[in-house]
Amino acid sequence: MKITESNLRQIIKEELILEISLQGELLADPPAAVTIGAEVLLGFTPAGVVIDFKDLAQAIEERDPVFATMAGIGFIPVVGDLFKVPYKVGRASAKQVKALDKLAKELGPEGIEQLSKRGGQAGKASRVARAGFSLAADKSKSVFRLDTAQDGQVRDIVIASMPDGSAKALMRSTGASGGGYKGSWIPIEGFSTYKRIPKGMSITDSFSDILGAKTYWNQPNSSAKAPAGSVYDKAGKWIDEFIKSKGGDDAVFGNARVVSIGSPTSEKDRKVLGAINRFLYKLGAIDRGAGVLRVTDKGRRLQFGLDEIS
């Protein structure tokens, strides 16, 4: 008699049910959740699919549908069908929670531990995603490099979406400003003139070098870093983890778009910066009331593509 894959799966599942049942006693009528749990532990998944079982074990234990989806539960036969619909952070169906609750109870601590030991390659990425951060748009628009001739620096920039749905551009410090935070991700309000333009004058009337308008400009400690524990501080840590999960800087920025700005800047340069600012503004990533953009008796910094006259 030829043993089919389905026969083999059933045989092995029944053996595993024996393992995870209390004190090794076979349940007379094993619940569907136990069978599903056995399937998860056995790892019968489509070829080429990576499921992070460590994260999945934690998601089951915590009854967290969003985390379970990120860990790849949708690829698990039967139970995964409940998790194949599009999800949004903070929104999970009662059926998904109930399914995870059944899995947790039927697997028990030992079964969950066994599942966790299977590990997986996507762990860091799914844990990072779980924090609620993501790229604000596709990579081609959210990840780029800014090459500025005025100081000879190339800066990495990532536009990230925050857990509350807002967005912000964060620029990795090169240390050129001397603030002592080289390598840190600094939130910015897009790009503006470095100096304040006197009232009534335009960018072309009185232009200076460009500025990555730092959200935390001229703080008491002379640092433009986001306050520890703030959402932008967490966003910076998320970006570092995101880069690591993708294979490092070369994998993320190696083929990223490079925006080159000359010195002095040309009309074309200003249009490019203006397009970036308008994109950020549409995402809600620019706070026009930020301190770096405030009006003083010297005028105000003008943002490319958003301001014409001071």
Per-residue pLDDT reduced to its tens digit, 18-40: 443 333 333 334 445 445 554 55
User: Helix, strand, or coil here: 144?
Assistant: strand
Amino acid at the residue 236: G
Predicted confidence (pLDDT) per residue in 120-140, tens digit? 544 554 555 556 788 888 888
Phi, psi of 133 (to 5 degrees): -100, 155
Residue showing tokens 């009528």: 29
Q: What angle do CA 235, 124, 162 make, to 5 degrees?
A: 25
Angle subtended by helix axes 231-245 and 123-130, to nearest 10: 160
Contact 123, 146 (CB under 8 A): no
Predicted confidence (pLDDT) per residue in 220-254, tens digit? 666 789 998 899 998 999 999 889 888 899 999 99
**Does the pTM of the predicted model rise above 0.75?**
no
Q: How far apart are CA 238 and CA 232, in angstroms?
A: 9
Q: How far apart are CA 229 and CA 214, in angstroms?
A: 18
> pLDDT above 70 covers what percent of the chain?
73
Q: How far apart are CA 89 and CA 67, in angstroms?
A: 9
Contact 105, 31 (CB under 8 A): no
The count of C-alpha atoms lying within 13 angstroms of the C-alpha of 127, restricted to the half-sphere facing its C-beta, is 16
Predicted confidence (pLDDT) per residue in 149-160, tens digit? 999 999 999 999
